[in-house]
Amino acid sequence: MKAAAGCAAALALPLLLPSRHLATFVLLTLAAAVTVGVSLLMGYAGQVSLGQASFYAIGAYAAGLLAVHGTPPLLGLLLAPVLAAAAAALIGFPLLRLRGHHLAFATLAVQLILLSLLAQASWAGGAIGLQGIPRFSIGGYSLTDDLGYAYLALLVLGIALLVSRNVVSSRAGRGLRAAATSEIAAAASGVPVGGYRLAVFALSAAFAGLAGGVYAFFLGYLAPGSFPVLLSIEYVVMAVVGGLGTIAGPVVGAVLIVVLVQVLNTLGTQPGMPDYAPSVLSYAVYALVLVVCVLYLPKGVVPSVSAALHARRR
Amino acid sequence: MSDLVGYVVTGLGIGAGFALVASGLVAIYRVTRVVNFAQGAFAVLAAMFTGTLLTAGLPHGVAELGGVLLGAAAGLIVGVIAIGRPGTSPGTSLIVTLGLGVLAYAIEVLIWGDQPRSYPGVPGVAEVAGARLQAHYLLILAVTGPVFAGLSWFFLRTDLGKALSACASNRYAAQIVGIDVRRMGLIAFGLGGALGGLAGVLTTPVQQVTFDSDVALIVNGFAAAVLGGLTRPVVALAGGLLLGVAQTLVAGYGGGAYQVEVALVLMLTVMIVQSARTPIAVAA
């Protein structure tokens, strides 16, 4: 029931929004889709990834490069998550031996390596970036306006939410939750912990890759600078703020953060404000929201609010 | 031959910076089990503040000291927020320090803007065994050596240092003999802040600093520290120097493009090898 209402609201929103806000809506929806994966990874597999933007970048570059070289955009978009997941499986095989802060730094290192390689790769546009990516099209119909991309992004988010819900309630999901509490107990009960962890890592990368593919077609231009380390941190902030290990958490977290940043951005670009105001405000928002949330609302917004509602109803 | 000597000495100078960042990480991690993500931010804050003090007309030495003190103060503040609340787990504290590192961006851009900054260090060119290099690198080495010697003296010979080491080896036992573990944690954060600040202050004359240089510093510092399992300052020194020399050699002979990757791949390899040797229960 709640899910249906949420779907209806999400589908109606792009039509109701003023068109100048549609671009923000698209980016917000894509960020939410990536955050679904981060939340799955952090909440169920107990792993912190500070390099999720690298899979976003891999998906975007895969779709972009394929499209530039004449592959049909639909095929490129479908291959983007596959390639991102394959990269994650390849990287994850050695990396997922690591735990906690080691894994956090390892994923961060992977992203820095990727950015450095992309900046030197002339075939991918180098530091200047990859230009001239065509618009997304299926058959002869080409998606040109922001409204179309808003629905494409919603479709991606919907897929990510649906898959992640099914994974969580599946046998593998139960095994993962058991492993997050006690790895040894879960392994002793026959849960293939390592394999499941790798699968979730690859799945979260696939979400990021799919979102990245849409991003490439939406903007038509990619550069290593579009995928800074701060972007990976943003996803972690959104996941933590929304509430780890919940389905609605990533969406709520992404909406809260993006709306807050947008409001402050509007404030920061008012006449009379110094030109550094927008960036200062957005850094401060990420930082303060993250710190306050981790310390005083450690379960995140969604579990806390629903617990409060539950208590009231009794 | 003189090329090689030049690269090695330059590398040692750069590596000393990493080693100082790493020693700060180690000082904090040993006592609190928190990996402090804001460690690079201390360096940036201290370096920028030193630049401001120098512009204001303060002499060299005093300005640098001011930068290091600001680093220590920042360390203490981060410590209070990250471990001040009883019951904060190290994992939570890591996320908190990550947030505080981003907060430092806001403060740095607000005060100093987003352009690279630097200030003059030791002027002139020195000659070592026929190799010509910036004299400032020698100053970095001349300061780093005594600092590490002082650190090991501090940890092994003074009461405060012994108390810190006691917390590092067994928190519970340390509490029983009357050591205030939380206060020791805050002292460790202050010390870590000062060491991070010193790294920034020393290396800025040869490497410009921007508000987001902290990512490179923290990653290289972590890479150096991880060699010693994040608990042994002297191994961190060796790791930092090795990393610096490896990077300048690759930059010098390999065309300069891949020096970032060297540090990162080295770090990944070390961590993976280490984790393969430790059982899961210990690593978790």
ipTM of the complex: 0.82
**A187-210, pLDDT tens digit by residue?**
888 888 888 888 889 999 999 999
Percent residues over pLDDT 70 in chain B: 95
**B34-76, pLDDT tens digit by residue?**
888 888 899 999 999 988 888 888 888 888 899 999 999 999 9
- Compare B224 and A273 and report the one with higher pLDDT: B224
Residue B129 has pLDDT above 80, yes or no: no
**A57-79, pLDDT tens digit by residue?**
999 999 999 888 888 888 888 99
Residue in B103, B113, B264 nearest the CB of A287: B103
Domain residue ranges of chain A, discontinuous segments joined by +: 2-227
pLDDT of residue B155: 86
B261 interfaces chain A, CB cutoff of 8 Å: yes
B38 interfaces chain A, CB cutoff of 8 Å: no
Residue B284 has pLDDT above 50, yes or no: no
**Residue of B268, B272, B282 for testing the chain A interface, max A β-carbons within 10 Å:** B268
pLDDT of residue B278: 63
A99/B284 Cβ within 8 A: yes
**Residue of B109, B264, B270, B274 for testing the chain A interface, max A β-carbons within 10 Å:** B264
Confidence of residue A17 (pLDDT cuts 50, 70, 90): confident
* pTM of the predicted protein model: 0.85
Domains of chain B: 2-283 (1.10.3470)
Instruction: Give the separation between CA A90 and CA B269, rounded to whole angstroms.
Output: 15
Contact A230, A19 (CB under 8 A): no
pLDDT of residue A55: 94
pLDDT of residue B163: 87
pLDDT of residue B73: 93
B257/A98 Cβ within 8 A: no
CB burial readout B120-139, b (16+ within 10 A) else e? ebbeeeeebeebebbebbbb
- Mean of all residue pLDDT scores within chain B: 84
A99/B215 Cβ within 8 A: no
pLDDT of residue B255: 64
A108/B109 Cβ within 8 A: no
- Mean of all residue pLDDT scores within chain A: 84
Contact A127, B271 (CB under 8 A): no
**A96-116, pLDDT tens digit by residue?**
878 777 888 889 889 988 988
Average pLDDT over residues A231-257: 87
Residue of B nearest to A236 (CA): B95
* Residues of chain B contacting A268 with CB distance shorter than 8 Å: none
